[in-house]
């Protein structure tokens, strides 16, 4: 089963990028440490953290992964390697904002909600069931994929 995570408040950028790989990552910007480790344990999520005090908490001691890099690129590479995440397998299947798995949406239902050029040139759309954000295979995805390949191919 794919690992599920809860990222601490310092790892927002890492959380977003892991979500774009399709990883299930909860993230709260301002959750107190105690609640964070409690919530992770209850939900079967591994705490992703860079906080040396947080990892000493009893409930986090055996339920965390210590992220070492300062830069999110290094952090992403570290987590992907440590958990054997296949970066291509579930790319862009989850809302980067809400962490919700995306669901396909019919093209007719996105009319007027995406730029006309996108509507004319794209056939497949996905939507986030939580925030309604629409996703499609556009050029910025190509750029993101390139960036990801660069990051994950090593320093
Ligand atoms: Zn969303």
pLDDT, tens digit (0-9, with 9 covering 90-100), for 3-48? 999 999 999 999 999 999 999 999 998 899 999 999 999 999 999 9
Residue 82: predicted pLDDT = 96
- Positions of the chain with pLDDT under 50: none
Q: How far is the CA of 5 from the centre of ligand 1 (A)?
A: 17
CA nearest to 99, candidates 131, 74, 126? 131
Q: How far is the CA of 119 from the centre of ligand 1 (A)?
A: 20
Strand partners, 46: 5
pTM: 0.89
Q: How far is the CA of 145 from the centre of ligand 1 (A)?
A: 20
Q: How far is the CA of 32 from the centre of ligand 1 (A)?
A: 24
CB–CB of 15/23 below 8 Å? no
Instruction: Give the C-alpha separation, 19 to 117, whole Å.
Output: 27
Q: Which protein residues have their CB within 5 A of the ion that is ligand 1?
A: 95, 97-98, 128, 130-131, 133
Helix or strand run (H / E) with residue 64: strand 64-66
> Rg of the chain over CA atoms, in angstroms?
17
Residue 139: predicted pLDDT = 57
Instruction: Give the C-alpha separation, 129 to 150, whole Å.
Output: 31
Q: How far is the CA of 75 from the centre of ligand 1 (A)?
A: 23
């Amino acid at each position: 089963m794919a690992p599920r995570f809860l990222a601490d408040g310092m790892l927002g950028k890492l959380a977003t990028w892991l979500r774009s790989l399709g990883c299930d990552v909860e993230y709260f910007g301002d959750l107190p440490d105690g609640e964070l480790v409690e919530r992770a344990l209850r939900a079967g999520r591994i705490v992703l953290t860079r906080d040396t005090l947080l990892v000493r908490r009893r409930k986090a001691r055996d339920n965390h992964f210590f992220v070492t890099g300062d830069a999110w690129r290094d952090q992403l590479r570290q987590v992907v390697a440590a958990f054997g995440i296949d970066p291509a397998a579930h790319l862009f299947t989850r809302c980067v904002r809400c962490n919700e798995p995306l669901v396909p949406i019919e093209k007719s239902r996105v009319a007027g909600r995406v730029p006309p050029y996108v509507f004319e040139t794209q056939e497949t759309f996905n939507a986030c069931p939580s925030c309604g954000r629409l996703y499609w295979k556009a050029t910025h995805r190509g750029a993101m994929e390139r960036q990801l390949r660069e990051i994950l191919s090593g320093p």
